[in-house]
Chain A
């Protein structure tokens, strides 16, 4: 009996992203379709999201022409596939501060946003470094910083320090410091609501990009391989991966990498009229399927 309905919603994609960007060391191994997605969690009187995507108005054209991002759609039509509006969203968990995860915060006027305090403070600290350290600023949009100021002033930005249990009933935040970014976090949903749940889902942000990060290249001899891009340490990424796998009792299918093209093959899904993939992970009692 699930407490929450959970969907992974694609809102754009890159048709040919280098695999080496997703899996550490996978050089000269071609490209893969890279979906951009966010997660919708609905139930128990709450509508929550994990990340909110990027702001097409600000840099959609750059992404489209220079980086091959395609088919961006605003949250309103994307969420409508699940009968939700952006105004319905009351809680957003920001796994980290990159543009494609927190770039669209202004489209959710009623939401309170949760982010690790360390992600913000180190983000600001990075800005104080001299120009030759600018690699550390990759993927960060100055406009997101300005929008974050507004959120904070409205009291809709909550800085979290470390792990938090039951931020919503059965929804936990887990800090993953100095991994993909300074203050990344992942979200765990205990979907039966019990403290020692056997119905766990983990939303990994960019701590993993694809199942290869969780099982390696040889299914018969699994290993953890870090993502291809991190400003923290590979060691921390691997340790966090191990922690996440433990958090789902070894069932790595339940660790959801939102950039994983193959997610749709592991769970019920459909392609919307806009050509976007909608994947259904769980249905709460009384909720109708959105993929059948």
Chain B
């Protein structure tokens, strides 16, 4: 990874929290889908986690749109914007019905966009491994 300029570092610091929030919202929606698909009768449109996901999403989406983008960070930001749109679609679908596909399809696309973002710049990870089970971060990283 080439050395990062100040504007890129500032962008990373600015967008990392919203990346993590978007990842969290995607996980929350996927979790609700698991319950639904496993027949847990989660009453998805009224599930309390949906309200929490919407609140988190609102803050993250605003931050993504306000981020100061440079040429170096443009591709990353594009991924974040796409992920934001797809998660928004999934959230709207969740409010409308318990149907799985209208949520699952945009969620998969959102996940792919978040993965794309994670590949573009350092500091964005899809899984929190640090100090976790079988994933102790190396000191030289």
Contact = CB atoms under 8 A, between A and B. Distances in A.
Given A65-B141, A66-B137, A98-B133, A124 B128 contact: no
Contact of A62 (B31, B37, B107, B125): B125
Contact of A146 (B20, B21, B49, B104): B104
Interface in A108-156: 120-121, 123-124, 127-128, 131, 134, 137-143, 145-146, 148-149, 152-153
B135 interface: yes
Residues of B in contact with A, size category: 35 or more
Nearest to B42: A124
Interface string A79-117: 000000000000000000011100000000000000000
Contact of B127 (A14, A65, A139): A139
What does DSSP make chain A's interface, helix, strand, loop or mixed? Answer: helix
A98 B128 CA distance: 11
A99 B127 contact: yes
Contact of A139 (B27, B107, B134, B138): B134
B136 A21 contact: yes
Contacts of A121: 35, 40
Contacts of A74: none
Q: Is the interface of B mostly helix, strand, loop or mixed?
A: helix
B108 interface: yes
A137 B141 CA distance: 22
B33 A149 contact: yes
A235 interface: no
Nearest to B108: A146
B126 A59 contact: yes
A67 B135 contact: yes
B52 interface: yes
Contacts of B38: 120, 152, 157, 159
Contacts of A149: 30, 33-34, 37, 100, 104
A139 B131 CA distance: 9
B23 interface: yes
A124 B34 contact: yes
A169 interface: no
Contacts of B108: 146
Interface string A165-199: 00000000000000010000000000000000000
B82 interface: no
A26 interface: no
A212 interface: no
A15 B135 CA distance: 12
A233 B54 CA distance: 32
A99 B107 CA distance: 19
Given A149-B30, A152-B34, A67 B133 contact: no
A153 B101 CA distance: 11
B136 A17 contact: yes
Contact of A148 (B24, B34, B39, B40): B34
B92 to A, nearest CB: 18
A3 interface: no
Given A100-B133, A127-B28, A142 B49 contact: no
A248 interface: no
Interface of B: 20-21, 23-24, 26-28, 30-35, 37-40, 48-49, 52, 100, 104, 107-108, 111, 115, 118, 125-138, 141
15 contacts: A66-B137, A67-B129, A67-B136, A98-B132, A98-B133, A124-B34, A138-B130, A142-B23, A145-B27, A146-B33, A146-B107, A149-B30, A149-B33, A152-B34, A157-B37
